[in-house]
Amino acid sequence: MTGMDDLLKKGNKNFERSFRFIATRRDNVYREVSFHRFIPLAFYAAPTVLRCSRNIDSIVQDIGQLYENDQCNLFEDWQRYCKALYTPLLELALYGIQLFFLALI
């Protein structure tokens, strides 16, 4: 880990704020983050951590490892993520999951 163990936890209490923070930056800051790594960001990192991060790739990698270790359910977390979003952010989330599952076929 990068020394952020206390900041990167699925215990983030304000998920909805994190969801919207990340969703509004999907097309620029997080453009290169793959879908299965994007959704866990909202569950493990508060907006303040993400805003201050200089190396998003490292954060994404660390969170991805935590997410896998905790055996989280990507589909259930994606549903929770979508429930907190409003149009057009919701439309982008729906489009993202379609692309992700199409790539698996």
pLDDT in tens, 6-52: 444 555 567 788 888 888 888 888 888 888 888 898 888 888 888 88
Burial class (CB in 10 A: 0-12, 13-18, 19+), 104: exposed
- DSSP class of 33: S
Q: Contact 22/41 with Cβ under 8 angstroms?
A: yes
Angle of helix 35-44 relative to helix 89-104, nearest 10 degrees, comes to: 130
CA distance 61 to 58: 5
- Model confidence pTM above 0.75: no
